[in-house]
């Protein structure tokens, strides 16, 4: 159902001469009034929406982020909640689709009456929800959406939209600098997902930064989400003999691209983004194929920081698996929302919005987080190197 369909879901009642219909309508009105009053008078809960990709193409991301949020909420509730109230997470599955993301946030706001929304994970899905949040004046915080347009577009800051992760320009610049300075690359090829705002934005920033460092982009090829055979375009890329290949995309396609690239004899370093972060990358691509690949990320489980290790231990205990970057970002996003509600001393959406905007020097798992004037955090990035199918810490890049 689209946005217009959602708006039309209300039942238009017409007068009729049939007494039984009138009686039924009256009974429904009483029930609806009762439900509404329950929502309004339940003062012991603070309802936060979670709009994530629980199924579909990037379900791994949505599930991980949602798990991180659930852990943060459970820990807060175990300590007495927030403002003496229990945090309640109301989840909606956007099925990894922009149109479904708009439907999900609409449901969370209009039917479930949440006071704020966390998510979605993928930038394209976040972009599909921002206007709904703005129109309804409900704070929206994405823990993982990195496209700059999410919070700032056409010279204007979106008043009710925030994020707790670094943005694509920083991430794209980090990888361009790493390619030029750490790997000493002089030429690069870019392989972009032309159906993804996330991928296209990162490709643009990488190209600008790499050229600024004195490098040359020898070719740029494109693919589409859900493609299966990449060998034709990879053969074209191979013919240009680049020093590195930058692939800003999500793990589902990237894993197949890497596997097929190695099968074609492409041995140069393959570079990527936080979209690579998934256990499925090694499962599909194969451990050997991933050697000599690098990607930018928000944290590393190998980081010796006590906060990181404490989070990793808690997450493993609850979910019996090591947390990926999406999990820790979901957790940090939840911490940012909890902090804002505490400082607002209220569950009123407008007051939460004001508090979010003033977030400064907040200690989270991935570092110290402060928001700039565009509602974007200033924080560090990590370079991950894959070795024998496992993530290893390569270096940390500060803003």
Same domain, 37 and 53: no
User: Across residues 298-323, what is the average pLDDT?
Assistant: 92
Q: Based on the structure, what is the number of domains in the chain?
A: 3
Secondary structure of the chain as H, E, C letters = CCHHHHHCCCCCCCCCCCHHHHHHHHHHHHHHHHHHHHHHHCCCEEEEEEEECCCCCCHHHHHHHHHHHHHHHHHHHHCCCECCEEEEEEEEECCCCHHHHHHHHHHHHHCCCCCEEECCCCHHHHHCCHHHHHHHCCCEEECCCCCHHHCEECCEECCCEEECCCCHHHHHHHHHHHHHHHCCCCEEEEEEECCCHHHHHHHHHHHHHHHHCCCEEEEEEEECCCCCCCHHHHHHHHHCCCCEEECCCCHHHHHHHHHHHHHCCCCCCEEECHHHCCCHHHHHHCCHHHCCEEEEECCCCCCCCHHHHHHHHHHHHHHCCCCCHHHHHHHHHHHHHHHHHHHHCCCCHHHHHHHHHCCCCEEECCEEEEECCCCCEECCEEEEEEECCEEEEEEEECC
Quote the pLDDT of residue 168.
83
In this predicted structure, the answer to whether residue 6 has a pLDDT above a threshold of 80 is no
In this predicted structure, the answer to whether residue 29 has a pLDDT above a threshold of 50 is no
Quote the pLDDT of residue 258.
98
Same domain, 64 and 86: yes
User: Across residues 333-350, what is the average pLDDT?
Assistant: 98
Residue 142 in domain: yes
Quote the pLDDT of residue 41.
43
| pLDDT tens track for 211-269 | 999 999 999 999 998 899 999 999 999 999 999 999 999 999 999 999 999 999 999 99
Quote the pLDDT of residue 4.
34
User: Across residues 304-330, what is the average pLDDT?
Assistant: 94
Same domain, 142 and 189: no
Q: Which of 11-20, 88-97, 128-137, 382-391 has the lowest mean pLDDT?
A: 11-20
Residue 388 in domain: no
Same domain, 200 and 222: yes
| pLDDT tens track for 44-90 | 999 999 999 999 989 999 999 999 999 999 999 999 999 999 999 99
Residue 288 in domain: yes
Same domain, 325 and 275: no
- Mean of pLDDT over the chain: 89
Residue 389 in domain: no
Same domain, 179 and 265: yes
Residue 399 in domain: no
Quote the pLDDT of residue 31.
34
| pLDDT tens track for 284-295 | 999 999 999 999
Domain span at residue 175 reads: 168-297
Same domain, 146 and 190: no
Residue 386 in domain: no
Quote the pLDDT of residue 7.
39
Same domain, 253 and 266: yes
Same domain, 181 and 66: no
Of the pLDDT bands very low, low, confident and very high (cuts 50, 70, 90), residue 361 is very high
Quote the pLDDT of residue 183.
97
Same domain, 226 and 178: yes
Q: What is the CATH classification number for the domain harbouring 78?
A: 3.40.50.2300
Quote the pLDDT of residue 339.
98
């Amino acid at each position: 159902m689209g946005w217009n369909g959602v708006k039309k879901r209300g039942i238009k009642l017409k007068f009729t001469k049939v007494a039984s219909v009138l009686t039924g309508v009256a009974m429904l009105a009483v029930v609806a009034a009762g439900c509404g009053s329950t929502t309004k008078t339940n003062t012991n809960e603070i309802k936060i929406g979670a709009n994530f990709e629980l199924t579909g193409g990037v379900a791994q991301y949505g599930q991980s982020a949602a798990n991180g949020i659930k852990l943060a909420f459970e820990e807060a509730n175990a300590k007495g909640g927030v403002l003496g109230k229990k945090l309640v997470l109301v989840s909606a599955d956007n099925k990894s689709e922009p149109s479904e993301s708009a439907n999900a946030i609409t449901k969370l706001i209009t039917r479930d009456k949440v006071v704020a929304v966390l998510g979605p994970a993928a930038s394209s899905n976040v972009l599909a929800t921002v206007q709904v949040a703005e129109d309804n004046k409900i704070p929206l915080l994405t823990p993982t959406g990195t496209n700059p347009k999410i919070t700032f577009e056409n010279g204007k800051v979106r008043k009710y939209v925030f994020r707790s992760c670094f943005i694509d320009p920083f991430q794209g610049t980090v990888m361009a600098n790493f390619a030029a300075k750490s790997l000493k690359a002089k030429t690069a090829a870019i392989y972009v997902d032309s159906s993804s705002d996330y991928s296209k934005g990162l490709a643009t920033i990488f190209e600008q930064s790499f050229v600024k460092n004195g490098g040359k982009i020898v070719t740029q090829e494109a693919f589409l989400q859900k493609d299966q055979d990449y060998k034709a375009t990879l053969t074209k890329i191979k013919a240009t003999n680049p020093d590195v290949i930058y692939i800003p995309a999500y793990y589902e396609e990237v894993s197949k691209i890497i596997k097929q690239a190695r099968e074609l004899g492409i041995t140069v370093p393959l570079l990527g983004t936080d979209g690579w972060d998934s256990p499925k990358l090694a499962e599909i691509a194969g451990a050997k194929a991933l050697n000599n690949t690098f990607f930018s990320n928000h944290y590393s489980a190998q980081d010796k920081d006590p906060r990181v290790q404490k989070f990793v231990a808690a997450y493993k205990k609850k979910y019996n698996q090591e947390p990926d970057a999406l999990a820790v970002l979901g957790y940090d996003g939840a911490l940012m929302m909890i902090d804002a509600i505490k400082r607002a001393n209220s569950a009123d959406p407008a007051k939460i919005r004001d508090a979010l905007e003033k977030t400064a020097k907040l200690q989270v798992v991935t570092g110290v987080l402060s928001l700039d004037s565009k509602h974007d955090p200033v924080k560090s990035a990590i370079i991950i190197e894959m070795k024998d199918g496992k993530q290893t810490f390569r270096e940390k890049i500060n803003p």
